[in-house]
Amino acid sequence: MADPKTPEPQAVTGNAGELHQTASTPETRLTTNHGMPISDDQNSLKGGRRGPTLLEDFVLREKIQHFDHERIPERIVHARGSAAHGFFELTESLAEFTRAKVLTEVGKKTDVFTRFSTVAGGAGSIDTPRDVRGFAVKMYTVEGNWDLVGNNIPVFFIQDAIKFPDLVHAVKMEADRGYPQAASAHDTFWDFVGLMPETTHMIMWAMSDRTIPRSLRMIEGFGVNTFRLLNDKDEATFVKFHWRPKLGTQSTCWDEAVKIAGADPDYHRRDLYESIAAGDFPEWEFGVQLISQKQADALPFDILDATKLIPEEMIPIRVVGRMVLNRNPDNFFAETEQSAFLPTNMPPGVDVSEDPLLQGRLFSYQDTQLSRLGSVNFHQLPINQPKGCPFQNFQRDGHMQTQVFAGRANYEPNSLAEAGEPGGPREDPKGGFRSFAQPVEETKVRLRAETFADHYTQARLFFRSQTEIEQAHLASALVFELSKVTLDHVRVRVLANVQNVDEALAKRVAAGLNVDLPKKAAAAVAPEDMKPSPALRIVGKYPDTLKGRAVGILVTDGADGAVVAAVRKAVEAEGAAVKIIAPKIGGVTLKDGKALPADGQLAGTPSVLFDAVALVLSEAGCAELLGESAAVDFAANAFVHLKAIAHTAEAQPLLDKAGVKPDAGVVDLAQGADAFVKPARTRQWDREPKVRILA
């Protein structure tokens, strides 16, 4: 949006202001590491309220640099990652908008390396916490590497990078006790959230089913920040980047995610690796939202604000390419762990915007790699080297230098070529990277634009765009998280903020906590009602297929092999994987005397690891399983996690003991294996009110 008339300076925004009183003594004031008092710890120094962040902001640089170097060698955030190789293929040229060859040469396949990650936990944490997922793609283009570093959520918690260390400190393990690991349900995180209303939109996403994904193959990816595309005439177009999974966006139930963590802490990592090894290659569509300056000015929010998204109904996503991951890393450490992603890696024709969160990221990522990988030469590691083009310059030496340079030319300009000696590479004014000529002649300030002040309208949009099922899950997630908070005033402040999102939601959460609803928090800008965006939902949008999913078949001695074969055939015909589960890993002997090997042992392969299950039991086998809690849990958990359950008549006593009640998702295999396939394609949402109490 166009920059409004500059209002009176304001030190801080939101509820954090209640804690920011002028320090009267040296003992109480905030300073740099060298003792200089800090006047504003909420905003980075920018060239105008909506201008770029200035390199001279040493307060920002000191704060982020210290944060970047807090731990070695593990990443401070996004430490637990899984990755794969593949390719990007452009299907529609964007030559009208950009000169980047990777976005203009239709049909060309560009090598990629993509890393997925959780955010809050350490490298040894679990795969399935309620958490944002990182989605980082390194494209080895013919014009250098392009690192599109984003998340599976299109918005972020904060508006200005100067608050990033505070956000991460708040959500990570509490400083005095070293827990909880990979969890946001604790005092310090929600204290930060309550004091920073700008987090509210992201909190709606974080408490939604988006943060408990079924698989890394089933998450969306977003560039989060607003970027620019520049064409041959240096004309700029704002752009938002999107990755959309061909398998659809799918999630787990919260109780299921918790139990998966105990059954298989490496659930997502294993799922990605095994699917690629089996030739079931994950694929995403690549889309862009293209926004002219005129369109940006007309929007009711600021596209430079990373806590805002552009609804697809306002600006449609234009699909222009695809990404396929088809090869697992040969060595986890050398590739997945040593990979380094930098938002500053962009081909000519792609450029940044003045988004203050992005501006800070441009510094932070490079600095982090220097600490984590220990050398300015981390770009020479094979996984980080450009593959589509050579790299050469006059940078020399440094720790872990692996290149051997010949000749005297280590400076530029030089005239050594006139003497017949190698003179080295030269700049390319025409084909090289050029930044958009954005005017920045304004007063230096530590302020935010007024257009960043609305913290609730889009949070309300997101919540009211969800189905009733998803709204109930979101409310229940807030109840769970706030139930872990021990400081009453923190819960009160969060509930006061949530009332600005939706009063009915706030009442549901307060009732779930059995506390009184506090007075609504004052909003800097009164929230408005936007037209709901169905594109923001998950439920009801699953592809009508079993492709990419997994079905577990529990068998016992004496089971009917023909029924097992029929279920396997029907499921595999849909593109799903099948695993045979038996009481013992050695497998079972079927009714016809044939041996059936097992892929997993019952106690170690619970139903939470599958999208649907079939119980093919003999009468004697079922009778034996009635005394095995793992078998009862296998059926009971499948039922409460809303999964389709197929069974033989002999399995009925086990279903009865597990509390499995007849519904459309419980299928007697006497009807045939094909009758099981349709309900197995999705969750049985109608069952949920019968198996759990939601907020």
Active-site position among 78, 242, 268, 647: 78
For residue 343, cis peptide bond before it (omega within 30 degrees of 0): no
As to burial, measured by CB atoms within 10 angstroms (0-12 exposed, 13-18 middle, 19+ buried), residue 199 is buried
Scored b (16 or more CB within 10 A) or e, 603-615 reads: bebbbbbbbbbbb
Nearest of 652, 587, 595, 594 to residue 626 by alpha carbon:
652
Amino acid (1-letter code) at residue 71: R
Q: Which helix (H) or strand (E) holds 590?
A: none
Q: Which helix (H) or strand (E) holds 633?
A: helix 629-640
The dihedral of CA 661, 664, 666, 671: what is its sign?
positive
Q: HSE-up of 675 (CA within 13 Å, CB side)?
A: 14
Is-contact 221 150, C-beta < 8 A? yes
Nearest of 6, 277, 369, 307 to residue 153 by alpha carbon:
307
Is-contact 424 179, C-beta < 8 A? no
Active-site position among 43, 145, 151, 500: 151
- 133-141 and 144-151: which strand pairing? antiparallel
Q: How far apart are CA 544 and CA 542, in angstroms?
A: 6
Q: How far apart are CA 202 and CA 208, in angstroms?
A: 10
Q: Which helix (H) or strand (E) holds 352?
A: strand 350-352
Neighbours of 341 (CB within 10 A): 22
Q: How far apart are CA 42 and CA 60, in angstroms?
A: 10
Neighbours of 86 (CB within 10 A): 23
Respond yes or no: is residue 186 known to be catalytic: no
Respond yes or no: is residue 151 known to be catalytic: yes
- Say which residue the tokens 């992603």 belong to: 341
What Cα–Cα distance (Å) separates residue 290 from each residue in 108, 287, 320, 522?
22, 10, 12, 35
Neighbours of 488 (CB within 10 A): 9
Angle between helices 468-483 and 488-498 (to 10 degrees): 160
Q: How far apart are CA 112 and CA 124, in angstroms?
A: 26
For residue 583, cis peptide bond before it (omega within 30 degrees of 0): no
Q: How far apart are CA 681 and CA 545, in angstroms?
A: 5
Beta strands in 223-278 (DSSP E): 227-230, 236-245
Q: How far apart are CA 611 and CA 281, in angstroms?
A: 18
Q: How far apart are CA 591 and CA 598, in angstroms?
A: 16
- 318-327 and 283-291: which strand pairing? antiparallel
Q: Which residues are catalytic?
A: 78, 151
